[in-house]
Structures are given as structure tokens and as C-alpha cells.
């Protein structure tokens, strides 16, 4: 006979953990209690089989539960204890607990949804401890129905009974509801499906915000959607009912398939295998963004679109139907979550607006992941992944990393935990800036922290830099690419010196220079810029980022091929004046080591893209053309001025787009690998982190990782964080704390 206490930490609240403990205690004939605690879940067990408790606990964990740590203490036996109980929560302000992320409909609830004998039959808000909304409906901690959007829906007798029965799947599931007591939709599925089938655009309130739906085969509906959303060419995400239907559209290996069906239900970027869908969904791109249904509303919509099939076979059968699903917002603005705002703002975009009376407390866009051969690259981290904690190597003072201005996220640390916010967006308009502040207040409140230090980008004009002083605590600026590398160091606990290869669009460098293709050496809180890409001209400054032909002109200027400029971009009226301007020493000095601009230059020279509709388009279209990467043996030069690909760019002048895309990618990979290996030898550092938006490119990342790993290097890409600027905030927070301990 033995009595032990366990403090179990991790994602253990709001995921059916206490009933799980209760059932094990029953099975092992243990007495004692379990209780939600500010630091996790606290359990005391007593009995002859007490030593088997932990093994049994870990065996069949609830699917959403994650244990980070278990602290065990031996206790004195409690005489005459005869039962095991679930105790009421201990409520404390400074909580170590956390809200779980939103999760897709679980298999059991899916069965309920289409079982005519279930009280939840066709009920759009069915959920249980294993599934449903969490983060997006919670106002503050402790995670309890009264603190969520469900506070205004008192439980009916049946739901109350389920909620109170430890053996029930809905025991203490805070958002549970049924047709009698729960939220209701504003329109019938029959009508919604009929409208979509008739070619209309329908806005439907979702888990983290309103989304727009239309038929993905309907060319006119897509054109209309593009026009109304002012979204010229940016690809639209698609929804199919199941994996079998996804396989008919895109190529999915095991890894991609597993990501697609994960409870987070991200959008998965995968290569198209058929040309059945209109080109206008993702113009010029080889990949499509695919997702599966995540909420009961999605499943009910599919049920209606497929003509209300009976049974459950239809759920796994292949269906050719595909839906466009895209966030319901005006270009560049945050997702709409408020019902009234939806009726005003979406009136001109959607033919029909469908709502329900459960509020969204905080918005979360769809998350986006691109599987590559060795791992997966996160493009956007939001719904399903937030607010999952990222463990840090050790405890640091509470630091706020404000992130960058584009693809903003912020990061708040608490002890040895880091919390990176959901994707906020580009802080270039008032609505997104308001969302940034709203979310920041929300996160600081539910984490129960007091900020001791603020970290920001070293760009003096970033919005985030300007508001860094507002907190009245020390501010630490962290160089952009340093932060990119530091994010991987913090996430993967790489505490020894590492090399960082950062390839991205733009970051503020030393003396205000424009950086973006950097090879850094990182040691503690310090970094050293070992080398960089040879800087390209960017006539027109910021405009060059949206108009690749301008960078192309700069390259031809450097190659002494000015005579070719007008002929190559005859449609650009300004090319003659640009050539003139380049004679001016001030303009000719404006250069950037950006890797993004190197892609743009290649894309423009090959005639693939001379003006972009969205960030990264020129590079994505170029990648889409690659069939087999080829290496131009003398395509690069390493010198004191950095790694130059001018010989490669000169070669591209003679090539067709496909051949050029192949030579560009193959040569870039070979040149970068040689450069990195050369510095690895000089510094005797064998660990390298790769980060920056360019690594979303599958060909580049796969190719480079292969070469570096084969040469004996340890290669690290961000695992849980976006590889682009969405990951900056964690790197900033971590580096600011490293600096602090150095002082
Ligand atoms: Zn469920
Ligand atoms: Zn009910």
C-alpha cells in the first residue's frame, strides 16, 4: 500500500484529463482525488496498485492531451479513504495553466452528428472533451464555461447530466451544447448548399472568423470572388471532404496525409496532380492549398452539397466536389469575427451571410503548412496551433517579443515557456494594428504575466519598434536575421555556437543597409555577419520588391547589358528613365543582399514574372516551373563581397523559362552549399540553422538540406514556428533575455 502525489504539467486542462485519471483510478482500485491546479493537474492516489498509475495514465492519453512533466511526491497514507473523487478547481490569478487550442470534430462526435438516434443528430455545434472550439471562444482563464462564449447558454438537463458524469465523454467539456440549449445557425444547410451550387458566394461564420465559400469548378464565381475581394492572383485555399478526395487533386505522401488529417486541420500545400480545376484558383503555381472539414458546420455543409446521403459510407468515399474557402475580409485586413461588422463589411462581397449566436472571442486564421521531403515548413501558424506553448531551454524573465511588421506575430514568455501569438498580419492598416493591440491585451491577461522586458526589430520605422517604449520597461532591439536564427535556437535548445543561413526578403541591417541573404555565426547573445549574398541593385527601393523587372534592370546594368533592357521589358514605360537613374551614384549605391530579390531578378529575366500581385509571387511561379534542378558549374563566385550569382543570372539571359528555372534552382543550391561548407570549415561549426521566407521553397530547402546533411552538418529548420517573419518574435524574446543575463 502506497500513497503518491503527482503534479502533471503540459496540455492537461480542458482535454478530458481528469475523467481519464478517474477511470484509471477506478480500474486500479485506487482511492484519492484529482484536481485542476494552477500549474497543471494534481493527483493523489492510494492503493496496492498505486505504482502502476503513471504507466496506465500514459498508455491511452486523451488525444488532445500532452504531458510535459510529472513531479512525484510520496505521501503519508490517509486512513479510511474509500473513494476516488474529482475535486473542484483551485482558482488562482497567477496561473501556469493554459487554454487548449481549437480542435477539429472528433470521430465520436462525427458519428453522433450523422446518427439519427443521437440527440446531437445534425446539430452544428456538437463537441466533447476531445474536440471543438477552445482558444477562439475563451475570454480568460481559468478555462471554465463562464469565461467562454458559452456563458450565455445555460445547460439543459441532459447536457448538465453529461457534464457532471465522469464516465461521460462530455464530462466537464466547457463548450458542450445540444439543439435544446445551445447556439443556433441563421440559415438552413439546404439553402446554403443550394446557393453555392448555383454559383453564389456565401460567407459563413467559422471557428476563428468568417469565411467565404464558392464552388471551386465555377470559373465565374471565382472571377467574381477575386474582383469583390480585390485579390487578383493570390491562390485560394480549397476544401475537400476527405483524404480520398484530396488524393485526386494533389500528390500526398505519408507525411502530407498525416498533416492533412491532424486535429489542427491546417491548409496543406501540395503539388497538383490533375488539371481538372480552373487555373484561376492558383494562377501560375504548381501547388494547391488543401484542407479537410474541421467543424460540424463544415460536415453538415458537405452532407447537404452531396444531397443528404444516409449512413456514414459517404464520409470516406471519394467525391469530385471541391470548395473554395477563403477568409472573409477586405484585402490585407484582419478576418471578420463580429456579426454586425460582417453584415456591413461583407455585404458587397458575399451573396449570403450565414451566422450563429455564439461569439468568437479572438480570431484565428487557418494555419498553413508545406510538407517537404525531410520535415514540414510552417507558413502560417494560427487556428489549431495557438496557443500551444513552446518550451524554452531554461527560465527567463518575462519578455515580450513584438515581432516584425509583416506577417506579424508576438511572443510572450512565462518562466521557461514561450507563447507565440496567432498570425496577426501586416501592420500596415488601422484594422490590423487594432487587432495586434487587442490580441496582445488578451494574451497578457490570460497568461497572467507582467512584462519585464520588450524586444523589437532594429528597424527604426517599424510600427512595432515605435510602440516598444510604451511598456515602460527596458527595450532591446534585435537585428532581423539574428532574430530569425535565434527563433530556431530557442525552439530547439541549440545552446552551442551555430551558423545561421537566413534567406528572406528584407531586413534592416547594420547602418541601415538592406539585408536578406545572410550567413551568421551565433554564439550566446552575439552574432557575427560572416558573409552575405552579393548585393543587387534595387532601383525604386521598396517598389522593386513588388516589381521584379526593376531588380532585373539592375542586374543587366551590373552585367553591362544595358542595351538589352528595353527589349526585355518593352511593356515597362519607365525602363529608360530607370537606366538614367542608375548612372547616378546615389541610386547605384542602393543595394540589397536580399535572397528574395535574387529570385525576383531570375524570374524577371526569364520573363516569368515582371510585376507581382502579392509578396513572393515571382519566386513561387519560378519554383513552379522546375522539372529537374540543374547545376551551372561556374555559376557563382565567392569573394570578400559575398556570394555572387551574377554568372548564373547572365546565363539565364539565353534560356527558356523552364530551363532557366531548373538552372537557377540547381545552381543556387550548389552555390549556397559550397559557401556554407566553406564557412563551416573555417569556423569549425557543424550545426546550422536555416530560416527566412525563402525556405518555403520546397526545391531549395530539400536540395540544400540534402547537400548539407550529406556533408556531415546538423541542419535545423523551425519545426513549430513559421519559417518566415511569423517566427521572428520568439527569436527576439529569446535574444533579449540572453543579453539580459550577460549584463
Ligand atoms: Zn468530440
Ligand atoms: Zn443541452
Ligand 2 mean position, distance from CA 160 (Å)? 7
Ligand closest to CA 181: 2
Task: Summarize pLDDT for 69-112 with one digit per residue, the tens.
Answer: 899 999 999 999 999 998 876 654 445 667 889 999 999 999 99
Residue 504 has pLDDT above 90, yes or no: yes
DSSP 554-574: HHHHHTT-GGGHHHH-TT-TT
In this predicted structure, what is the pLDDT of residue 742? 46
Å from CA of 180 to ligand 2 middle = 5
Copy the grid coordinates of residue 87: 475535486
CA of 149 to the centre of ligand 2 (A): 15
CA angle 550, 554, 557 (to 5 degrees): 135
Q: Residue 331: how many CB atoms within 10 A of its CB?
A: 11
> Span 623-635, mean pLDDT?
97
Given a contact cutoff of 8 angstroms between Cβ atoms, the answer to whether 647 and 631 are in contact is no
A 10 A CB-CB count for 743 gives: 6
State which residues have CB under 5 angstroms from ligand 2, the bound ion: 156, 159, 178, 180-181
What was the pLDDT predicted at 374?
78
129 Cα: distance to centroid of ligand 1 (angstroms): 6
Mean pLDDT of the chain: 94
Q: Kindly identify the ligand whose nearest atom is closest to the C-alpha of 64.
A: 1
**Segment among 119-123, 156-160, 408-412, 734-738 with least mean pLDDT:** 734-738
Centre of ligand 1 to C-alpha 108, Å, is: 6
Residue 62 CA to ligand 1 centre (angstroms): 11
DSSP string, 306-330: TT---SSGGGTS-----EEEEE-SS
- Residue 67: C-alpha distances to residues 41, 396, 448, 690 (Å): 10, 22, 22, 29
Q: What is the pLDDT of residues 651-682, one digit of tens each?
A: 999 999 999 999 999 999 999 999 999 999 99
State the cell numbers at 447. 497568461
Percent helix, strand, coil in the chain (nearest 5)?
35, 20, 45
CA dist., res. 735 & res. 428, Å (int): 26
| Ligand in closest contact with the CA of 179 | 2
Q: If phi over 0 gives left and psi between -120 and 50 gives alpha, with beta otherwise, what is residue 207?
A: alpha
Single pTM value for the model: 0.92
Judged against a pLDDT cut of 90, whether residue 696 lies above it is answered with yes
Task: Please tell me the distance between residue 268's alpha carbon and the centre of ligand 1 in angstroms.
Answer: 23
Three cell numbers written together for 43: 493527483
pLDDT on residue 91: 55
Task: Report how far ligand 2's centroid is from the alpha carbon of 313 (Å).
Answer: 28
Parallel, antiparallel or unpaired: strands 368-371 and 352-354: unpaired
Choice between 740 and 120, residue whose per-residue pLDDT is larger: 120
Cα-to-chain-centroid distance, residue 217: 27
Mean pLDDT of 182-190: 97
**Residue in this structure with the C-alpha cell 511588421, named with its chain if needed:** 405
Q: Round to whole Å and give the CA distance between 645 and 665.
A: 11
pLDDT, position 37: 80
Find all residues with CB under 8 Å of 674, minimum gap 6, and list them.
636, 638
Average pLDDT over residues 152-173: 93
Radius of gyration of the chain (CA): 27
pLDDT, tens only, 280-310: 999 999 999 999 999 999 999 999 999 999 9
416-436 pLDDT tens trace: 999 999 999 999 999 999 999
Q: How far apart are the first and last CA of the chain?
A: 52
Report the alpha-carbon distance of residue 192 to residue 194 in Å, rounded. Answer: 5
Query: Is 80 exceeded by the pLDDT of residue 589?
Result: no
Q: Would you say residue 327 has pLDDT above 70?
A: yes
Sign of the torsion formed by the C-alpha atoms of 72, 75, 80 and 86: negative
Which ligand lies nearest the alpha carbon of 158? 2
C-alpha grid cell for residue 414?
512565462
Strand 526-532 versus strand 536-537 pairing type: unpaired
Query: What does the alpha-carbon distance between residue 599 and residue 453 come to, in Å, rounded to a whole number?
Result: 37
Tell me the pLDDT band of 331, cut-offs 50, 70 and 90. confident
Lowest mean pLDDT, pick from 341-345, 400-404, 540-544, 602-606: 540-544
For 440, other C-beta atoms within 10 Å of its C-beta total 18
The pLDDT value recorded for residue 12 is 86
Strand ranges, E, within 263-362: 267-271, 287-291, 323-327, 352-354
The DSSP 8-state label assigned to residue 530 in this structure reads E
Give the chain's largest Cα–Cα span.
96
Q: How many residues does the chain have?
A: 743
- Note the ligand closest to the C-alpha atom of 127: 1
pLDDT tens column, 505-558? 999 998 899 999 999 999 999 999 999 999 999 988 888 889 999 999 999 999
The number of CA neighbours under 13 Å toward the Cβ of 57 is 28
How remote is the CA of residue 197 from the centroid of ligand 1, in Å?
29
Distance of CA 713 to the CA centre of its chain: 27
pLDDT at position 231 is: 87
DSSP string, 452-521: -EEEEES-TT-HHHHTGGGGSS-EEEE-HHHHHHHHHHHHHT--S-EEEEEEEEEEE-GGG-EEEEEEEE
Q: How many other C-beta atoms lie within 10 A of the C-beta of residue 657?
A: 17
Which range among 37-46, 199-208, 592-601, 681-690 shows the weakest confidence by mean pLDDT? 37-46
Which residue, 165, 149, 259, 145, is CA-closest to 208?
149
Helix (H) or strand (E) holding 741: helix 728-742
Domains of the chain: 2-86 (3.30.70.100), 98-384 (3.90.870.30), 385-506+517-530+721-742 (3.30.420.360), 533-686 (3.30.420.40)
Confidence of residue 320 (pLDDT cuts 50, 70, 90): very high
Residue 735 has pLDDT above 50, yes or no: yes
The C-alpha cell that represents 102 in the structure block: 481549437
Those residues whose beta carbon sits under 5 angstroms from the ion ligand 1 are 106, 109, 128, 130-131
Residues forming a β-bridge with 531: 519
Please name which ligand lies nearest the alpha carbon of 109: 1
Instruction: Supply 614's cell numbers.
Output: 502579392
Amino acid at each position: 500500500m502506497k500513497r503518491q502525489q503527482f503534479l502533471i504539467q503540459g496540455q492537461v486542462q480542458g482535454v478530458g484529463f481528469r475523467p481519464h485519471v478517474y477511470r484509471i483510478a477506478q480500474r486500479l482500485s485506487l482511492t484519492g482525488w484529482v484536481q485542476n491546479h494552477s500549474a497543471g493537474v494534481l493527483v493523489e492516489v492510494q492503493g496496492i496498485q498505486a505504482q502502476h498509475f503513471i504507466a496506465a495514465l500514459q498508455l491511452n492519453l486523451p488525444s488532445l492531451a500532452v504531458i510535459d512533466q510529472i513531479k512525484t511526491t510520496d505521501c503519508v497514507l490517509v486512513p479510511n479513504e474509500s473513494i476516488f473523487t474529482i475535486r473542484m478547481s483551485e482558482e488562482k490569478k497567477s496561473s501556469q495553466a493554459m487554454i487548449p487550442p481549437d480542435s477539429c470534430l472528433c470521430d465520436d462526435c462525427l458519428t453522433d452528428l450523422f446518427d439519427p438516434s443521437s440527440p446531437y443528430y445534425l446539430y452544428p455545434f456538437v463537441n466533447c472533451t476531445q474536440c471543438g472550439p477552445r482558444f477562439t471562444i475563451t475570454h480568460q482563464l481559468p478555462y471554465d464555461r463562464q469565461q467562454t462564449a458559452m456563458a450565455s447558454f445555460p445547460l439543459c438537463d441532459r447536457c448538465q447530466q453529461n457534464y457532471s458524469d465522469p464516465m461521460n465523454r462530455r464530462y466537464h467539456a466547457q463548450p458542450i451544447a445540444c439543439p435544446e440549449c445551445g447556439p443556433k445557425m441563421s440559415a438552413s444547410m439546404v439553402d446554403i448548399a443550394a446557393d453555392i451550387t448555383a454559383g453564389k458566394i456565401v460567407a459563413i461564420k467559422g471557428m476563428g472568423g468568417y469565411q467565404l465559400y464558392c464552388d471551386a469548378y465555377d470559373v465565374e464565381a471565382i472571377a467574381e470572388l477575386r474582383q469583390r475581394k480585390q485579390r487578383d492572383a493570390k491562390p485560394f485555399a480549397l476544401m475537400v471532404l476527405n483524404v480520398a478526395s484530396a488524393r485526386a487533386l494533389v500528390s500526398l505522401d505519408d507525411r502530407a496525409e498525416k498533416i492533412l488529417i491532424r486535429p489542427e486541420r491546417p491548409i496543406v500545400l501540395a503539388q497538383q496532380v490533375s488539371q481538372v480545376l480552373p487555373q484561376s484558383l492558383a494562377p501560375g503555381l504548381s501547388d494547391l492549398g488543401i484542407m479537410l472539414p474541421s467543424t460540424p458546420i463544415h460536415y453538415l455543409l458537405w452532407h447537404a452539397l452531396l444531397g443528404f446521403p444516409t449512413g456514414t459510407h459517404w464520409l470516406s468515399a471519394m467525391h469530385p466536389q471541391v470548395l473554395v474557402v477563403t477568409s472573409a475580409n477586405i484585402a490585407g485586413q484582419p478576418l471578420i469575427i463580429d456579426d454586425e461588422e460582417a453584415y456591413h463589411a461583407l455585404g458587397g462581397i458575399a451573396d449570403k451571410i450565414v451566422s450563429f449566436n455564439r461569439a468568437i472571442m479572438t480570431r484565428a486564421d487557418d494555419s498553413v503548412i508545406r510538407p517537404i521531403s525531410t520535415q514540414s515548413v510552417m507558413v502560417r501558424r494560427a487556428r489549431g496551433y495557438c496557443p500551444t506553448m513552446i518550451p524554452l531551454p531554461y527560465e527567463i524573465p518575462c519578455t515580450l517579443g513584438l515581432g516584425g511588421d509583416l506577417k506579424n506575430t508576438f511572443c510572450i514568455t512565462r518562466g521557461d515557456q514561450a507563447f507565440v501569438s496567432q498570425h496577426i498580419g501586416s501592420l500596415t492598416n488601422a484594422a490590423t494594428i487594432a487587432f495586434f493591440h487587442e490580441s496582445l491585451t488578451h494574451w497578457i491577461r490570460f497568461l497572467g504575466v507582467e512584462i519585464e522586458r520588450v524586444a523589437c526589430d532594429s528597424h527604426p520605422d517599424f510600427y512595432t519598434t515605435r510602440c516598444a517604449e510604451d511598456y515602460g520597461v527596458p527595450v532591446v532591439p534585435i537585428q532581423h536575421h539574428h532574430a530569425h536564427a535565434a527563433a530556431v535556437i530557442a525552439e530547439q535548445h541549440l545552446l552551442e555556437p551555430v551558423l545561421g543561413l537566413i534567406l528572406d526578403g528584407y531586413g534592416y541591417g547594420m547602418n541601415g543597409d538592406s539585408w536578406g541573404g545572410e550567413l551568421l555565426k551565433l554564439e550566446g547573445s552575439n552574432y557575427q555577419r560572416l558573409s552575405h549574398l552579393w548585393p543587387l541593385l534595387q532601383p525604386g527601393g521598396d517598389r522593386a520588391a513588388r516589381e521584379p523587372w526593376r531588380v532585373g534592370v539592375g542586374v543587366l546594368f551590373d552585367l553591362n547589358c544595358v542595351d538589352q533592357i528595353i527589349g526585355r521589358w518593352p511593356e515597362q514605360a519607365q525602363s529608360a528613365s530607370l537606366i538614367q537613374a542608375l548612372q547616378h551614384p546615389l541610386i547605384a549605391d542602393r543595394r540589397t543582399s536580399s535572397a528574395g530579390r535574387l529570385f525576383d531578378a531570375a524570374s524577371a529575366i526569364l520573363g516569368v514574372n515582371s510585376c507581382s500581385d502579392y509578396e513572393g509571387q515571382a519566386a513561387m511561379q519560378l519554383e513552379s516551373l522546375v522539372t529537374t534542378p540543374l547545376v551551372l558549374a561556374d555559376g557563382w563566385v565567392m569573394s570578400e563581397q559575398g556570394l555572387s550569382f551574377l554568372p548564373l543570372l547572365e546565363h539565364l539571359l539565353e534560356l527558356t523559362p523552364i530551363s532557366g528555372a531548373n538552372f537557377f534552382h540547381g545552381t543556387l543550391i550548389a552555390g549556397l552549399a559550397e559557401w556554407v561548407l566553406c564557412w563551416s570549415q573555417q569556423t569549425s561549426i557543424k550545426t546550422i540553422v536555416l530560416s527566412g521566407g525563402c525556405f518555403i521553397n520546397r526545391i531549395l530547402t530539400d536540395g540544400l538540406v540534402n547537400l548539407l546533411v550529406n556533408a556531415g552538418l546538423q541542419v535545423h529548420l523551425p519545426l513549430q514556428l513559421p519559417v518566415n517573419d511569423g517566427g521572428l518574435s520568439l527569436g527576439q524574446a529569446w535574444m533579449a533575455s540572453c543579453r539580459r543575463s550577460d549584463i
